[in-house]
């Protein structure tokens, strides 16, 4: 059997965070950053940190924000040969400020940054041929060229006998953009593992209840649904089994990145042939550790760190 290798495609950004809570950026406010970020980048960093072969296709500028990301991803074992460094481009960014109620105000520079023009050509296309699993991030479907690259890589990996996971973390403006429903239905048709969070369960399966939504998704050809429930943990569903595990008890400092680290751990253990309960336990541990650190990628964990959290909460 070929050694498994996970691919994702999408935004590589820096995140710059307001140091005081409040509503947005209409007045001067203290900032801290840059932190390496972007949902697919956080996901793939966590996959790499667990020792699973991993790669990402993206674009950054030849600037400090790009190099912050390249260095972190390389350090954590991610193949960055599919990240094109554009000498004339600028790396994407997200300014984030938490409001008192825990919601977030953002200023994004994604579509018009270097990662707005990702394409699956040359080295990136060859990389797709070498990978056995594709992880699609809903947040990455922000520009037509990126959507095309994601669909192309998904087809290549499926044609080669690989598998696909899909985290539908879509922002509303993405969902309603032209052609998006069609693109999403193509992705869904290829999805083996669907990883929604909360209400995202109902995005493609408008049903009256959770059970009904899950039954519809499993009937459509998806092999398993993994539903993230924040601090309450997560559940796994396939045609034979339903498993729910509570969340680990931790102090939440910064929720950003929890879903991405959770998904990365689940996919890594699933690909390694772990039973769903084990994969779910490690995924819950990865999500829990992610929220204990400020900075979106700072809470990615090693296998030893996940084992330590699991052992600590067992005793
Ligand atoms: P994100 O904000 O990164 O998109 P998400 O909405 O996709 O996250 P969540 O359900 O918020 O996903 O979190 C993913 C997982 O992380 C949860 O299923 C759980 O395992 C873990 N998790 C999140 N928040 C907490 C918390 N406060 N305490 C313990 N575990 C948590
Ligand atoms: Mg999410």
Is the pLDDT confidence value at 223 over 60? yes
Strands 133-137 and 163-167: parallel
Is the pLDDT confidence value at 128 over 60? yes
Which amino acid residue places its CA nearest to atom 12 of ligand 1? 259
Which amino acid residue places its CA nearest to atom 30 of ligand 1? 288
Please indicate whether residue 201, judged by its CB atom, sits closer than 6 Å to ligand 1.
Answer: no
Please indicate whether residue 245, judged by its CB atom, sits closer than 6 Å to ligand 1.
Answer: no
Atom of ligand 1 nearest to the CA of 195: 7
Closest to 257 in 3D by CA, of 130, 122, 104: 104
Closest to 47 in 3D by CA, of 165, 175, 203: 165
Q: What is the pTM of this model?
A: 0.97
Give the tens place of pLDDT for each residue, 97-124. Answer: 999 998 999 999 999 999 999 999 999 9
The half-sphere exposure of 186 on its side-chain side, counting CA atoms within 13 A, is 16
Closest to 69 in 3D by CA, of 134, 3, 13: 13
Which amino acid residue places its CA nearest to atom 26 of ligand 1? 231
Cα of 231 from ligand 2 centre, angstroms: 13
| Mean of pLDDT values over 240-261 | 96
- Is residue 80 classed as helix, strand or coil in its secondary structure? coil
Closest to 43 in 3D by CA, of 4, 65, 68, 73: 73
pLDDT range class, residue 21, cuts 50, 70, 90: very high
pLDDT > 90: what percent of the chain? 91
Pocket mutation for ligand 1, best pick of 38, 135, 259 (most atoms within 8 Å of C-beta): 259
Q: Check residue 54 and give its pLDDT.
A: 98
Is the pLDDT confidence value at 225 over 60? yes
Which amino acid residue places its CA nearest to atom 20 of ligand 1? 284
How is the chain split into domains, by residue range?
Answer: 39-86+119-310
Q: Check residue 206 and give its pLDDT.
A: 86
Cα of 19 from ligand 2 centre, angstroms: 23
Strands (E), 82-158: 83-86, 92-98, 104-109, 133-137
Please indicate whether residue 306, judged by its CB atom, sits closer than 6 Å to ligand 1.
Answer: no
- Which residue has better confidence, 299 or 178? 299
Is the pLDDT confidence value at 179 over 90? no
Which amino acid residue places its CA nearest to atom 11 of ligand 1? 230
Is the pLDDT confidence value at 176 over 90? no
Atom of ligand 1 nearest to the CA of 260: 3
Please indicate whether residue 234, judged by its CB atom, sits closer than 6 Å to ligand 1.
Answer: yes
Other C-beta atoms lying within 10 Å of the C-beta of residue 152: 17
Which amino acid residue places its CA nearest to atom 27 of ligand 1? 231
Instruction: Considering every ligand atom shown, identify the ligand nearest to the alpha carbon of residue 103 and give its number.
Output: 1
| Residues 6 or more apart whose Cβ sits within 8 Å of residue 46 | 260, 261, 264, 265, 268, 286, 300, 301
Q: Check residue 1 and give its pLDDT.
A: 57
pLDDT range class, residue 174, cuts 50, 70, 90: confident
Is the pLDDT confidence value at 278 over 70? yes
Instruction: Considering every ligand atom shown, identify the ligand nearest to the alpha carbon of residue 258 and give its number.
Output: 1
Q: Check residue 248 and give its pLDDT.
A: 98
The CATH number corresponding to 39-86+119-310 among 3.40.190.10, 3.40.1190.20, 3.20.20.70, 3.30.70.380 equals 3.40.1190.20
The 8-class DSSP code of residue 46 comes to H
Q: Check residue 308 and give its pLDDT.
A: 98
| Mean of pLDDT values over 218-225 | 96
Please indicate whether residue 144, judged by its CB atom, sits closer than 6 Å to ligand 1.
Answer: no
Strands 92-98 and 104-109: antiparallel
CA distance 298 to 309: 16
Please indicate whether residue 253, judged by its CB atom, sits closer than 6 Å to ligand 1.
Answer: no
Average pLDDT, the chain: 96
Which amino acid residue places its CA nearest to atom 21 of ligand 1? 287
Q: Check residue 139 and give its pLDDT.
A: 93
């Amino acid at each position: 059997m070929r050694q498994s290798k996970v691919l994702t495609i999408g935004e590589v950004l820096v995140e710059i965070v307001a140091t005081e809570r409040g509503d947005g950026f209409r007045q001067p406010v203290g900032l801290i950053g840059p932190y390496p970020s972007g949902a697919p980048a956080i996901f793939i960093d966590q996959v790499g940190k667990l020792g699973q072969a991993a790669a990402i296709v993206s674009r950054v500028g030849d600037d400090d924000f790009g190099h912050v990301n390249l260095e972190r991803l390389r350090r954590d074992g991610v193949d960055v040969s599919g990240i094109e460094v554009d000498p004339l481009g600028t790396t994407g960014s997200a300014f984030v400020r938490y409001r008192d109620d825990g919601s977030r105000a953002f200023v994004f520079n994604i579509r018009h940054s270097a990662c707005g023009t990702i394409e699956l050509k040359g080295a990136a296309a060859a990389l797709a041929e070498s990978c056995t699993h594709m992880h699609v991030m809903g947040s990455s479907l922000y520009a037509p060229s990126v959507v095309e690259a994601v669909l192309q890589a998904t087809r290549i990996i499926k044609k080669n006998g690989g598998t696909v996971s899909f985290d539908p973390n879509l922002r509303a403006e993405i969902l309603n953009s032209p052609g998006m429903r069609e693109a999403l239905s193509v992705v869904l048709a290829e999805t083996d593992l669907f990883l929604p969070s909360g209400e995202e369960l109902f995005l493609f399966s408008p049903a009256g209840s959770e059970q009904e939504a899950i039954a519809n998704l499993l009937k459509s050809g998806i092999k398993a649904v993994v539903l993230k429930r924040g601090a309450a943990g997560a559940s796994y569903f396939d045609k034979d089994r339903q498993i729910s595990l509570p969340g680990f008890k931790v102090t939440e400092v910064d929720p950003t990145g929890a879903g991405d680290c959770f998904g990365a751990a689940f996919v890594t253990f699933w690909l390694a042939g772990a039973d769903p309960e084990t994969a779910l336990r490690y995924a819950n541990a990865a999500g829990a550790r992610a929220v204990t650190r400020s900075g979106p990628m700072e809470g990615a964990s090693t296998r030893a760190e996940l084992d330590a959290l699991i052992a600590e909460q067992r005793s």
